[in-house]
Structure 1
Amino acid sequence: MSLGEDDQTITDKVNQPHVLSHPSSPPPQHPVVKMVLAELRAQRGIALPLVAMNLSWFAKTTITTAFLSRLGELNLAAGALGLSFTNVTGLSVLNGLCGAMEPLCGQAHGAKNIKLLHKTHPMTTLLLLMVTIPISFLWLNIDKILILLGQQQEIAIVAKSYVSYLLPNLVVTSLLCPLRAYLSSQCITLPTLFCSAISLAFHVPVNILLSKVMGLRGVAMAVWITDLVVVILLATYVWILECSKRNGSRWKEGGWWDQNIIDWIVLLKLCGSCCLNTCLEWWCYEILVLLAGHLSSAKQSLGVLAIVLNFDYLLYSVMLSLGTSVSTRVSNELGANQPGQAYRSACVSMAIAIITGSIGSLVMVAARGTWGAVFSHDASIIKGVKKMMLLMAFVEVFNFPLNICGGIVRGTARPWLGMALDWCC
Structure 2
Amino acid sequence: MAVDTPLLKNHEEEKSVSYVKEFGPESKRLWKIAGPAIFTTVAQYSLGALTQTFAGQIGELELAAVSVGNSVIGGLAFGVMLGMGSALETLCGQAFGAGEIRMLGVYMQRSWIILLITACCLLPIYIWSPPILHFFGESDEISRAAGKFSFLMIPQLFAYALNFPIQKFLQAQRKVLVMAWISAIVLVLHVFFSWLLILKLGWGIPGAALTLNVSWLLIVVGQLLYIFITKSDGAWSGFSWLAFADLFGFVKLSLASAVMLCLEFWYLMILVVITGHLENPLVPVDAISICMNIQGWDAMIAIGFNAAISVRVSNELGAGNARLAKFSVGVVSITSVAIGVVAMAVVLATRDYFPYLFTNSVPVAEETTKLGVLLSFTVLLNSLQPVLSGVAIGAGWQSLVAYINIGCYYIVGLPAGILLGFVFDFGVEGIWSGMIGGISLQTLILIIVTSITNWTKEAEQAESRVKRWGGSAANH
Q: Is the 8 A contact 1:95 1:278 kept in 2?
A: yes
1:204 matches 2:191: yes
Deviation digits for residues 178-226 of structure 1 (CA, Å, limit 9, x no counterpart) = 1111101111100100000011001112212332253211101211101
Q: Is the 8 A contact 1:115 1:256 kept in 2?
A: no
Deviation digits for residues 55-113 of structure 1 (CA, Å, limit 9, x no counterpart) = 11222222111111122111111221111222343111011100100010001111110
Query: Of the candidates 378, 381, 402, which is equivalent to residue 361 of structure 2?
Result: 378
1:173 matches 2:156: no
Query: Of the candidates 235, 242, 246, which is equivalent to residue 258 of structure 1?
Result: 242
Deviation digits for residues 362-393 of structure 1 (CA, Å, limit 9, x no counterpart) = 22112211101112232211111111121021
Partner of 1:19: none
Query: Of the candidates 415, 419, 425, which is equivalent to residue 398 of structure 2?
Result: 415
Go from structure 1 to structure 2 and tell me whether the alpha carbon gap of 1:163 and 1:259 turns closer, same or farther (over 3 Å shift).
closer
Partner of 2:302: 319
Q: How does 1:300-319 map to 2 (within 5 A)?
A: 300-319=283-302
Partner of 1:16: none
1:231 matches 2:220: yes
Q: How does 1:271-420 map to 2 (within 5 A)?
A: 271-420=254-403
Bigger CA drift: 327-336 or 350-359? 350-359
CA separation in 1, counterparts of 2:44 and 2:244?
A: 35
1:257 is displaced (CA, Å) by 3.0
Q: Is the 8 A contact 1:89 1:135 kept in 2?
A: no
Q: Is the 8 A contact 2:256 2:399 kept in 1?
A: yes
Q: How does 1:36-185 map to 2 (within 5 A)?
A: 36-185=23-172
CA separation in 1, counterparts of 2:378 and 2:235?
A: 45
Q: Is the 8 A contact 1:300 1:381 kept in 2?
A: yes
TM-score relative to the length of structure 1: 0.88
Partner of 2:211: 222
Matched position secondary structure for 2:99: coil
* Gap runs ≥5 in structure 1: 1-28
Go from structure 1 to structure 2 and tell me whether the alpha carbon gap of 1:223 and 1:46 turns closer, same or farther (over 3 Å shift).
same
Task: Provide the alpha-carbon RMSD of the alignment.
Answer: 1.8
Bigger CA drift: 298-307 or 323-332? 298-307
TM-score relative to the length of structure 2: 0.79
Bigger CA drift: 161-170 or 301-310? 301-310
Bigger CA drift: 404-413 or 81-90? 81-90
CA separation in 1, counterparts of 2:364 and 2:18?
A: 53
Letter in 1 for 2:224: A
CA separation in 1, counterparts of 2:57 and 2:44?
A: 21
CA separation in 2, counterparts of 1:266 and 1:308?
A: 39
* Gap runs ≥5 in structure 2: 1-15, 409-441, 443-476
1:417 is displaced (CA, Å) by 2.6
Q: Is the 8 A contact 1:61 1:310 kept in 2?
A: no
Go from structure 1 to structure 2 and tell me whether the alpha carbon gap of 1:256 and 1:340 turns closer, same or farther (over 3 Å shift).
farther
Q: Is the 8 A contact 1:39 1:345 kept in 2?
A: yes
Identity %: 26
Go from structure 1 to structure 2 and tell me whether the alpha carbon gap of 1:213 and 1:382 turns closer, same or farther (over 3 Å shift).
closer
1:286 is displaced (CA, Å) by 1.8
Q: Is the 8 A contact 1:410 1:418 kept in 2?
A: no
Letter in 2 for 1:172: A
